[in-house]
Structure 1
Amino acid sequence: MKKNKYRWLLFGVIILLLMSMNGILIYSILQLQGTVKKMNKTIGNNQSNLESQIANISDTFEKTLIEQNRAISSFEFIYGDLNAKTGKIEVTVRVIPKESQQSTSLIVTYEETEGKYSTAPATRKGENLYEAQLKIPYNKDYHIGVLIKENNKTIQEYLDWIYNIESQLQLQVTGAYLDGDYNYSADSGLKVSGTVHLDVYNPSDSNPITGVEDNYIRSVNAHLYVDGEEIAVIPMEQDENTTGGNEYVCEVDQKLEFLEGQQFQLAVEIEDSLGFQYKTYALQGVADPTGEFNIDSYNYGYVEINP
């Protein structure tokens, strides 16, 4: 019995040792797997970094090669006078080629749509400086390029885009509103009273057009219309209580003969120093047969700009 007891005890010890060894082995295998994963991740990161470095070197080399092969040393766009009535702006294009001989001539090209070119001859202004004068619409995009001609050789290059700059030229008008009241009846017509407000801001000083930051407001007026006929004009003045002087106000106290089906509009009209005209509505509506004045809010906040 004692021998069997010791045998069983020895067997149990052996089993425990085997289990312990298996646990250590499994733990070691898991650690090894984790190490392999970390190595693979490191290798992958190194490979990605290497590929990124190669791509950057390739891009830099390509850009350097393109720059070395360019025939243009530098160029500049200088914006001049704008005429809002004609819708055009003057642009001076200055170009300095890398090489220029006495026989070298330069033509500036401007492309409005793909395949449609216009040209302007450039005048030599210095040993290596050429200038061309363009007069182009300010509300379109143009791709500007050059043709450099010397004897029988012609080189064509694109310089840059002149983008639609219309929004950078104009005043920023937020829309008008009436702080007041209106009453309508078929017998007594329409009565409108209160304060008309308008917020307007100058163009951003960061725009590329020389002098546009000096674009100023010539006039701001409130207009009352019935069926398109002007009934009254009320000048609006800057509100001294607002910072920056960007708010214009006026008082309205008007009684109008107003019949069923007629349309009423309380509009604010602005004109700036460049010749742009702006129009927005503080109140508009139509009288219906039930004696109600139905407000038309469809165009509320919308600003018409002309030309």
Structure 2
Amino acid sequence: MTRPTLAITMGDPAGIGPEIVMKALARADVQALCRPLVVGDAQRLRQAGRLVGIEIPVEALSDAGAATFETASVQCIDLKVVPEDLPFGRVSATAGEAAYRYIEKAVEIVQAGQAQGICTAPLSKEALHAAGHRFPGHTELLAHLTGTPEVSMMLVSPKLRVIHVTTHIGLLDAIAKIEPGLVERVIARGHDVLVKAGIANPKIGICAINPHAGEGGLFGRGEEAEKITPAVEACQARGWDVRGPLPADTLFFLAGRGDYDMVVAMYHDQGHGPIKVLGLESGVNITVGLPVIRTSVDHGTAFDIAGKGIADEGSLVEALRQAVDLAPKPQAA
């Protein structure tokens, strides 16, 4: 077996993406893990390298077929869409368009069989929208570019895996959207990923919507019985170890100590909060259901520290590790 090639998108070029990419690719353990192919702007990476004190040369490539991975350099598919004077730490349509173009190119590369997975540095939703690309985030954008009707967001930390039924919509809209068919499909996507990762019979806990899982009808309007329980029963009928709906606060405690292989969260903050409390720097975002492997850092563009050379690359390194674990491994020649 040989190392898989991963297409690494640079993210919003005004954020910390270029800096964490350079810091991650300077690490020997990352180079031993995969064949990293950055999709971005070579001059921005060189600028970021100077900011973080890394002197690795950046090799500008016109296409993925030109990558050799034989030299101690950062291999970059150079799209040349960022002006040299683009300031760090500011939202702009220029940066949003660049971030979009990087993702678009990465999908093209993977679909052409020139890479086995995608790992994304953070983008700015505001900048993406300013450029005319009206997507809530990476997950929805990748679904659009790959023609995938429905995907799920999974967050992974060393102690916890969480998959979401709903993500980037308001809380009232999220509750309205939750229904048994959607919950069952999300559980199934998560179950499939865990089985492929080597967990033969994963134990999956399902969060309730209301406090205390509704407390027998005292809280809420019967959402658990109407929206969640039928999905749990359908999954149990498949022979899966699925339990719930359970009070979210208790379930996350139990999962954090290892009692569950995965938690199914009903809405964005229900799942994101526990992951980020356990350690933002080690969290990884995985898009489940795409025809391509995609992982990402679980943090934003950090405009407040962008350009200062102090951003931590830890989450990106973990995202690369997860991508390697999930990606199909090409056979050595």
- Normalising to structure 1: TM-score of the pair? 0.23
- Higher share of residues assigned helix: 2
- Normalising to structure 2: TM-score of the pair? 0.22
- Higher share of residues assigned strand: 1
Decide which structure has the larger Cα Rg and report it.
1
